[in-house]
Amino acid sequence: MPRGTSEVSEPMYFALTALRAGPLHGHAISKSITELSGGRVQPSVGTLYGILERLNERGVITVDREETVNGRNRRYFQVTEGAGGGRGQAHARGRPARAAPHHMTMTADRNRTSTA
């Protein structure tokens, strides 16, 4: 969801896809995005945390836990229960993650995802 829209950007799509597997911290999400996109999408730290902040504000994801590892704080994110119905519908329809559309539209109830 780029700011001010209900569209889901490609990096956001891959972040949500990565979180389908369970809670992940920022670096792991970034690594998963790169892997899922075949190296095409490599968001900067600022872009990734902007995405995570917007998804959190809209109730699509939440902070699962925070921990300190080697003196560095890690915040783990997970997809919320209410957003669970819409997770991975494109993937469930047989479309591989690498073929994800550049933009997707999410409905207000966050339970259905349709391509734009």
| 61, 45, 27, 69: CA torsion to nearest 10 | -100
State which residues of the chain have pLDDT below 70. Answer: 1-5, 83-116
Which pLDDT value is given to residue 84? 55
Burial of residue 89 (number of CB atoms within 10 Å: 0-12, 13-18, 19+): middle
Which pLDDT value is given to residue 49? 95
Which pLDDT value is given to residue 107? 34
Q: Which is nearest to 13 in space by CA: 46, 45, 31, 36?
A: 36
Considering the domain 1-80 in this protein, what is its CATH number? 1.10.10.10
Domain ranges in the chain are 1-80
Which pLDDT value is given to residue 115? 43
Find the helix packing angle between 45-57 and 26-36, rounded to 10°.
100
